[in-house]
Homo-oligomer: A and B are copies of this chain.
């Protein structure tokens, strides 16, 4: 096996590991380019420049921080250049015909071209002092969707698109229901001469009834809309209760059910495809590395080749971890493995394993006589005792009370030094008892949290006191930071209660899903913010509290004179810059629910039967080397999804699929679905 073939095998395995589905050229040159394409640095750079491109909205008209047009245009040109280079790189990696068949590449090219055209037009218009609109800004977030790494985001958009037809039919039925109920309301209540609370005729205009009843679905005008009818006769409440039952509960549930089912149905199909193409890639890698031990025997991969492969796929893997994986694959200890054992390597590498090295405490090596003396051992036992945790939880609670009290009192403000000293002592004691490298291991989230918070609080408190004693001047900003750090410290109490830790770990585990969801929200918000800014900028103005401008009373827009909007001090809820627009869009979103989170939570909750400890173990007697599966967390969202549908997937999806076309062509197309 020459080194170029080996490179190819490494790429197949790492593609399987990270579920990349890119059809690359297998020529040695293209393989090297592909390795570079997958390197973390260009990937991070692309995301960085997307971020820069998106945040240009902060500096463009209407700006939060105004910059001259030529400056933002120059930065944007740089961004476009980076995206073009990345796309050019991609075009070199995959065959020409595949490149032009992929809609996401076409999409990026169109976005880049339109942006360039828009910039030229806008530049020309501003140069001639004409009014120009930077309309291509709404296209910017689409880059996030169409870059190679935006797989999760594309999947989310695909799920939404696939659910649309069914949602549409439920929506039609829902509208039909509202229109029918409105007609009934018109006939039953319109002729009774009832009056609303403001003295207007009640339920006499059909379109107004439709609107009122539509708002009632959100329960926003309940029970006001019902009161005139209820006051007239109790029997009319039957109408309204039936209406709310059918339209608010039944139909809203139907919408949710349709979305949930479609999401599940298509996701299952996508995951099936992912599993299939993963196996294909592993089989391809096996075909490269295989040898025959004897004439006519089964092809196998030797341990030497396997070791080299794993070392190249995951350079950071420890030798014991690699040996563990080998002993799992080669369970008969033959020195070579067959196809089936080889194929599971991608899944084995996806299991996050923490190597726990049981080494003696550094102090024990330095002066064992002292560290192993009776008082030292007693101290260790004390710190390891449950009471130690309880005592510190009580200290935190007392601290909480002190924080709540008035900090103007010198006794209270000085007590902060006392608490800080106690927390520092705790960390030092723990470092004395536990091996520092284990205490600060990658997975000891709470130890890191504690240490960073306490040390930051210490620094901020010292800086604050220094400033105060130097000039009697207290910086508001530093004081804010001190307060935030103090309150954050209280969160620690959560970690010491087992059940709370499980809930928190579950919430942390849905992080990747929230990240995808966050990107989706960003795309939608950004587009709405851009459009909103062009349409509404400057329509509503915010005046500072101390401003004496009479326009302050009506947000600078005489249409809003005496309006509830202006009276409620809502003037800052406007589209005057990108930050205000985003905050306004969040406010508008708040009345809705984020159902995606729920699905993920439901599936996560199921797995937390017994979570493993926090990774810090006292220096008790134990084997010199231990492995631990890092809870049931998954490195990639794809791996998590596969586990989620494990029970639902057909066994044959996991069986080897000798599709000859796929085998010879190496065509790992992304799963696609007809929209029917």
Using a CB–CB distance below 8 Å, which chain A residues touch chain B?
169-170, 172-173, 176, 180, 183-184, 186-188, 197, 206, 219, 222-224, 226-228, 230-232, 234, 237, 241, 244, 248-250, 252-254, 256-258, 260-261, 400, 403-404, 480, 483-484, 486-487, 490-491, 493-494, 499-500, 503-504, 506-507, 542, 545, 567-573, 579-580, 583, 586-587, 590-591, 593-594, 597-598, 601-602, 604-606, 647-648
A231's nearest neighbour on chain B, judged by CB, is B572
Contact (Cβ within 8 A) B187 A499: no
A567 and B648 CA atoms in complex are apart in Å by: 57
Contact of A605 among B173, B258, B404, B506 (CB under 8 A): B258
Shortest beta-carbon contacts, A-B, top 10: A257-B601, A187-B483, A253-B598, A184-B487, A253-B597, A257-B602, A169-B499, A223-B587, A257-B605, A261-B605
Chosen A-B contacts, 27 in total, with CB atoms closer than 8 Å, are A170-B503, A173-B494, A183-B400, A183-B487, A184-B484, A184-B487, A187-B486, A188-B480, A188-B483, A197-B568, A197-B569, A219-B590, A222-B590, A227-B568, A227-B569, A227-B572, A230-B572, A231-B545, A231-B569, A234-B579, A237-B583, A244-B590, A253-B594, A254-B601, A254-B605, A256-B601, A257-B601
Q: In the assembled complex, which residues on chain B have CB atoms less than 8 Å from the CB atom of A232?
A: 545
Contact of A173 among B197, B403, B503 (CB under 8 A): B503
Contact (Cβ within 8 A) B219 A256: no
A488 and B336 CA atoms in complex are apart in Å by: 75
Q: In the assembled complex, which residues on chain B have CB atoms less than 8 Å from the CB atom of A228?
A: 569
Tell me what chain A mostly uses at the interface: helix, strand, loop, or mixed.
Answer: helix
Contact (Cβ within 8 A) B487 A180: yes
Contact (Cβ within 8 A) B591 A219: yes
Question: Which of A206, A231, A545: most chain B CB closer than 10 A?
Answer: A231
Q: Given A483-B188, A487-B180, are A206 and B404 also a contact pair (CB < 8 Å)?
A: yes
- With A223-B590, A230-B572 given, name 12 new contacts (CB 8 A): A173-B500, A219-B590, A224-B568, A227-B572, A231-B545, A231-B572, A241-B586, A253-B594, A256-B602, A257-B598, A257-B604, A261-B605
A540 and B619 CA atoms in complex are apart in Å by: 70
Contact of A403 among B172, B187, B230 (CB under 8 A): B187
CB distance from A670 to the nearest CB of B (A): 26
Q: In the assembled complex, which residues on chain B have CB atoms less than 8 Å from the CB atom of A231?
A: 542, 545, 569, 571-572
A219 and B483 CA atoms in complex are apart in Å by: 26
Q: How many copies does the complex hold?
A: 2
A601's nearest neighbour on chain B, judged by CB, is B257
A604's nearest neighbour on chain B, judged by CB, is B257
A415 and B219 CA atoms in complex are apart in Å by: 37
Contact (Cβ within 8 A) B598 A186: no
Question: Which of A248, A249, A484, A486: most chain B CB closer than 10 A?
Answer: A249
Q: In the assembled complex, which residues on chain B have CB atoms less than 8 Å from the CB atom of A261?
A: 602, 605-606
A230's nearest neighbour on chain B, judged by CB, is B572
A494 and B480 CA atoms in complex are apart in Å by: 61
Question: Which of A223, A258, A500: most chain B CB closer than 10 A?
Answer: A223
A619 and B28 CA atoms in complex are apart in Å by: 72
Contact of A186 among B184, B256, B404, B648 (CB under 8 A): B404
Question: Which of A186, A227, A228, A491: most chain B CB closer than 10 A?
Answer: A227
A567's nearest neighbour on chain B, judged by CB, is B197
CB distance from A516 to the nearest CB of B (A): 15
CB distance from A485 to the nearest CB of B (A): 10
Question: Which of A187, A227, A591: most chain B CB closer than 10 A?
Answer: A187
A590 and B241 CA atoms in complex are apart in Å by: 9
Q: In the assembled complex, which residues on chain B have CB atoms less than 8 Å from the CB atom of A254?
A: 503, 506-507, 601, 605
CB distance from A181 to the nearest CB of B (A): 9
Contact (Cβ within 8 A) B169 A500: yes
CB distance from A547 to the nearest CB of B (A): 11
Q: In the assembled complex, which residues on chain B have CB atoms less than 8 Å from the CB atom of A503?
A: 169-170, 173, 254
A542's nearest neighbour on chain B, judged by CB, is B231
Contact of A491 among B180, B260, B507, B545 (CB under 8 A): B180
CB distance from A403 to the nearest CB of B (A): 6
A246's nearest neighbour on chain B, judged by CB, is B507
A515 and B228 CA atoms in complex are apart in Å by: 30
A234 and B584 CA atoms in complex are apart in Å by: 12
Contact (Cβ within 8 A) A570 B223: yes
Q: In the assembled complex, which residues on chain B have CB atoms less than 8 Å from the CB atom of A601?
A: 253-254, 256-257
CB distance from A99 to the nearest CB of B (A): 38
Q: Given A223-B570, A499-B169, are A507 and B583 also a contact pair (CB < 8 Å)?
A: no
A573 and B231 CA atoms in complex are apart in Å by: 9
CB distance from A600 to the nearest CB of B (A): 8
CB distance from A202 to the nearest CB of B (A): 11
A231 and B188 CA atoms in complex are apart in Å by: 47
CB distance from A464 to the nearest CB of B (A): 13
Q: Given A183-B404, A487-B187, A602-B257, are A594 and B169 also a contact pair (CB < 8 Å)?
A: no
A480 and B236 CA atoms in complex are apart in Å by: 11
Q: In the assembled complex, which residues on chain B have CB atoms less than 8 Å from the CB atom of A579?
A: 234
Q: In the assembled complex, which residues on chain B have CB atoms less than 8 Å from the CB atom of A491?
A: 180
Q: In the assembled complex, which residues on chain B have CB atoms less than 8 Å from the CB atom of A484?
A: 184, 187-188
Q: In the assembled complex, which residues on chain B have CB atoms less than 8 Å from the CB atom of A173?
A: 494, 500, 503-504
A583 and B579 CA atoms in complex are apart in Å by: 44
Contact (Cβ within 8 A) A602 B260: yes
Contact of A230 among B400, B583, B593 (CB under 8 A): B583
Contact (Cβ within 8 A) A494 B587: no
